Structure 1
């Protein structure tokens, strides 16, 4: 797997319009061992400045952890358990070094940035966590959450693609606008969203890191979902490189060689009948390749490991 890029932006200060006037005394300094993966900056454009009430000022306050809840609409669904456990150990020793950014709801606080710290705090058994309350409109909350997660280094490829799609569907942003907001090229956004054309099974293999995004993009050249899944399983089983996968896909897409034209004979009809009989028995495509002196070979196609195992079971039942 390719190494991840460094996080984008300049920190949580980018969220607040009063950055220039904020007192340095209120900043949280990292004087102890910091968490290994700090929350990246959120590059937010077109968020209007507003007059802040005392509860909206950039001043951390302690609240009961039971009063803080994650944003259910955020695109990130997968959390690295090992990394979370490492962060939990850091929180046990040093506490939460960077406050969570939250929005105040009717009877709880909803996390805008810092869910990983919140999860680690719960695992560490903390009763309270530091938060900074900031009020945004519902649209701004969703957009900030999406952009913050897209910029996060450990979003998987499918979650990132889904986030881009949601920005387009819900906020009618164009791909070049999305690219500008998240600090990526338009091509990167386009290639990411193309991954959603993969079958659900192949997408899950990508999430589970059975294949890489490079493998997935190569497989995208095949539109048939079953063939996509068969190719992905072969990539995983044979540990193929991206270059080898591209060659394999090219072979799959190559047009079949034209058979030499010849007159249709009774022998041709007999072999066609044999092919059809074998197809009905095997439940999949079967080809008989004839050679001279009544020799030849039989080709049986399968499109998934389950189907291969079914065919093997069929042979075993016939043998027994």
Structure 2
């Protein structure tokens, strides 16, 4: 445990500056603010509170212990980010796992970047930082996107710029929130993939969604098998007379339908007759979704 109590020589002078009430920095315009904001400073863990806007609510205990062991050996390699609340009071913006693990091994201080931000900026930073993580489930990502749209008043276009994701990708995640809550829980627990969820979105009736969900779990159905079940439920199954007469769909049509789906954020279906004519089918989930697709087709988005 001796290793955990050692201090890293980061921002020692700045730490002293922060302890001086006469140099209390509350805005970027205050004296000495330039020495503080954007620099790495050693802060006492006792002066930092967790972020109430943190979208992540659960932390894997085993993973946390592994991080704590690493910190005990090597210290905190990547500084956390905090925002200044009051004199010697800070709030986490990102790095809660590092914060928790440091407390677990008995560290008294932690290296931190200090930012001066209001509640909205803090929420946005926490959400965007959360989305960049690699271990998120699809529903957690979708909820973070939705919170950015609702609480920061971002459009999907603005959100796309903030998080560096295609708008169609964001739309696909947001559509998952239309699934029955039980199915969403199944996705969060790892019983269903995002592909399964996207297939089930095309079932309008919640009870029928759940029926297919149960079959997927019982029979360990693949995404392709789930999509087939959904098509059969929607009247496009193998018992349909028109199905037997359909000509095989050429690769060019399949590829085109896939490209349309990715661009529009909706699963586009293509049907082709033996004579080469055909039609595209584009599903939408609401009036808002219909308007979104219409703007994309017109090139207005």
Task: Give the aligned partner of residue 16 of structure 2.
Answer: none
Q: State the alpha-carbon separation in 1 of the partners of residues 173 and 183 from structure 2.
A: 14
CA RMSD of aligned residues (A): 2.6
Q: State the alpha-carbon separation in 2 of the partners of residues 119 and 233 from structure 1.
A: 38
- For the pair shown, which has the larger CA radius of gyration, 1 or 2? 1
> Per-residue displacement from partner, 1:177-197 (whole Å, max 9, x unpaired)?
111111110000000000100
Task: Give the aligned partner of residue 83 of structure 1.
Answer: 63
Q: State the alpha-carbon separation in 1 of the partners of residues 28 and 137 from structure 2.
A: 34
Task: Give the aligned partner of residue 281 of structure 2.
Answer: none
TM-score for the superposition, normalised by structure 2: 0.64
Task: Give the aligned partner of residue 212 of structure 1.
Answer: 193
3-state SS, counterpart of residue 105 of structure 1: strand
3-state SS, counterpart of residue 233 of structure 1: helix
Task: Give the aligned partner of residue 169 of structure 1.
Answer: 150
Give 1:243's match in structure 2, choosing from 213, 217, 224. 224
Higher deviation after alignment, 111-120 or 225-234: 225-234
- Alignment of 1:160 with 2:141, yes or no, is yes
Q: State the alpha-carbon separation in 2 of the partners of residues 147 and 169 from structure 1.
A: 14
Q: Please say if residues 55 and 133 of structure 1, whose CA atoms lie closer than 8 Å, have aligned partners that are also in contact.
A: no
Q: Please say if residues 50 and 92 of structure 2, whose CA atoms lie closer than 8 Å, have aligned partners that are also in contact.
A: yes
Task: Give the aligned partner of residue 249 of structure 2.
Answer: none
Unaligned runs of 5+ in 1: 1-24, 28-48, 259-320
Unaligned runs of 5+ in 2: 1-8, 12-26, 241-301
CA shift, 1:244, in A, is 0.9
3-state SS, counterpart of residue 131 of structure 1: strand
Q: State the alpha-carbon separation in 2 of the partners of residues 144 and 65 from structure 1.
A: 21
> Per-residue displacement from partner, 1:67-101 (whole Å, max 9, x unpaired)?
22221212222333333222121011112112211
- Alignment of 1:105 with 2:105, yes or no, is no
